[in-house]
Structure 1
Amino acid sequence: MNSDTSGFKPDAFGTLPKQQEYIPNLKLSDGNEIPMLGYGLGTANSKRGNKDELDQKIVNDTLTAIRNGFYHLDCAESYGNERELSAAIAQSPVPRSKLFITTKTSCRPGESVETAFSRSLSKLGVDYVDLYLIHSPFFAESPRQLQEKWAEMEALKDSGRVRSIGVSNYLREHLEAVLETAKHPPVVNQIEYHPYLQHTGGLLDFLREKGIAVEAYGPLTAVTKAAPGPVDPIYERLAAKYGVSSAEVALRWCLDQGIVTLTTSGNEERLKNYQAKLPMFKLTPKEVEDIAEAGRKKHYRGFWKGKFDEDDRR
């Protein structure tokens, strides 16, 4: 590794990370930075049962993640676990200023973004969030509704209580509608991304053209949910080559494309290995493409299945 990479920053326009002794931050188009490896309090850590009762397991899993260097923490109001993240933050010795906190609004009918955000801020017990996302575009019945909600997001950014604003699960047509009227363009689009869902049709190229960072949830799907499949032998071969696990190859595949990557694992040994091993190796461009090419032979969508036809790969 070369010390001249110490000031290097991958960015939302597609500048790729170099191999370093750590996983770098990615520079967003608004000038802020986001850690490229994050811990997601996502579907795997959604609240079960009584949502008013604190789920200590979620708190403990989040504390485990923080203790092992995961300072990028991603949650959402729809997961019902913002209070658990708040408890973990309060119990952790890591100061708030070192954490990167994301939450999301579901855009409930008849409710303003301001109302949703104020409720989330109260549950989180913080006075600002680093990134606030609209969880999906599917609340909207017209481009105008997408634009109106985005204007409400912009007002939050202008208030100083949100450092960066973005979206999740948006397709190109949703983003084009938002960009027609946006004063502050979205800086992130968080999407399901793995070899079996690469969003054919140019979504990633469009995002990079517009300076919208790609953030992946479900990056381990080919290992955890969609196996067996055509990428398995490539993952296994590269895992043996680099002395890592197939899961670490899967995460590195995303990182090497300049994609912010989330994991939801609550296993401490696994989290330690991610932090220790992911900086130790980098896939070659050919290896990245080999995985991509094999992945295109199979289609699997783990989330929002009801919004897409079975073979819709967008």
Structure 2
Amino acid sequence: MNSATSNFEVDATGVSPKQIHNLIPSLKLADGNEIPMLGYGLGTANYKSGDSADTISEPIVNATLTALNAGYTHLDGAEVYGNEVELGRAIAQSKLPRSSLYITTKTIVRAGDTVTQSFNRSLEKLGLDYVDLYLLHSPFFAKNPEELQAAWREMEKIKDSGMAKSIGVSNFLISHLQTLFDIPGGLQYPPVVNQIEYHPYLQHVVEGEDLVAFCREKHIALEAYSPLTAITKARPGPVDPIYTQLAKKYGVSEAEIAFRWCLDQGIVTLTTSSNEERLKGYLKKLPSFKLTPKEVEDIASAGKEKHYRVWWTEEFAADDRH
């Protein structure tokens, strides 16, 4: 199983934000590359569509610059968010060395499109020569296993080109991952990351199937989006009193407890906050404490008493915990 380095436990009190990013550990992926454990996501909070799709959003550029200036070097984007141009502008305006940044983007694989075409568009919009991680945004575009396998073969060619240092997937269940592992002739490059909605009310355990355990068995790192769902969207719920008690114990916010719960499981975690004070606070507080194994388990156990899914609800029955 992949594991994070231990320096996330270092007390960062009084350390400036630009120094704090050096304290954030990286997770070593199965391909030998490393991914910072905490990242800034340009997700639906910065989504562009409709009339705004073809115009540059300075607020999105500025929000991303805020994250960069706060010390976040791991930036997570996607073609479908419509803001890769803004992400690229923020990177350029930051003047930070490209080698100090970790950039992710994703392809949704639209009808009539290819993974390669999508990737080339993304690189052009980002203004970059390469990305650190390229993901298939979801498996749901594929009408059959062969279509999903063909898309992965394109991903492998992109990896071979050197223009994506690592390749992975997002929103894949065990069945989708198994489809990739069943590619005739075997995988040249297995996915090294699976980015999923993950929080106490969606732990992806059902009928003896455990997605997190499966990924670990296959040496696929987990990356969590929407980790604050139990606080922001799903209240009231059974984890509320635990979050409250632990926040008081450690002198941090409930959001920081929610992030720490993911991090202490070795799961890369994304925030989409554009609040500068909050972003800096995460970087200061998260390295200063660690939940005990029992506290991690207490949250997990309470979370299983409730089910709540934010995204991709059209693909799942209301009570489906996959």
Query: Which position in structure 2 is the counterpart of 1:10?
Result: none
Contact 1:252–1:282 (8 Å) recurs in 2: yes
Map of 2:93 onto structure 1: 91
Kindly indicate whether residue 155 of structure 2 is the aligned counterpart of residue 147 of structure 1: no
Aligned residues: 302
Q: What is the SS of the residue equivalent to 2:238?
A: coil
Aligned to 1:189: 194
CA contact (8 A) 2:4 2:28 kept: no
Asked if 1:123 is matched to 2:125, the reply is: yes
1:247 corresponds to which residue? 255
Distance in structure 2 (CA, Å) of the matches to 1:241 and 1:93:
40
Whether the aligned pair in 2 keeps the contact of 1:16 and 1:257 (CA below 8 Å) is no
Number of the residue aligned with 2:56: 54
- Tell me which residue corresponds to 2:238: 230
Name 1:33's counterpart in structure 2: 34
Indicate the residue corresponding to 2:218 in structure 1.
210
Question: Are 2:268 and 1:257 aligned?
Answer: no
Say which of 276, 285, 289 aligns to 2:284: 276
Instruction: Please state if 1:70 is matched with 2:72.
Output: yes
* Corresponding residue of 2:19: none
1:102-127: CA deviation from partner (whole Å, max 9, x where unpaired) = 00001111211111100000000000
Maintained 8 Å contact 1:106/1:134: yes
d(CA) in 2 for partners of 1:132, 1:208: 20
- How far residue 225 of structure 1 moved from its aligned partner, in angstroms, is 0.8
TM-score (norm 1): 0.94
Residue 189 of structure 2 aligns with an amino acid whose one-letter code is H
Q: Show the counterpart of 1:80.
A: 82
- Cα offset for 1:17? 4.8
Q: Which AA in structure 1 matches 2:3?
A: T
| Matching residue's letter, 2:250 | Y
Helix, strand or coil: the match of 1:222? helix
> What's the CA shift for 1:64?
0.4
Which residue does 1:4 correspond to in 2?
none
Instruction: Compute the displacement of 1:23 (Å).
Output: 2.4
Deviation, 1:14, is: 4.2
Tell me if structure 2 keeps the 8 A contact 1:38–1:261: yes
Residue type at the aligned position of 1:32: N
Give per-residue Cα distances to partners, 1:244-266, cap 9 Å, x unaligned: 00000000000000000000000
The percentage of aligned residue pairs carrying the same residue is: 65
1: CA distance, partners of 2:70 / 2:54: 28
Instruction: Tell me the residue number matched to 2:9.
Output: 20
Report deviation, 1:273: 0.6
1:102 aligned to 2:91?
Answer: no
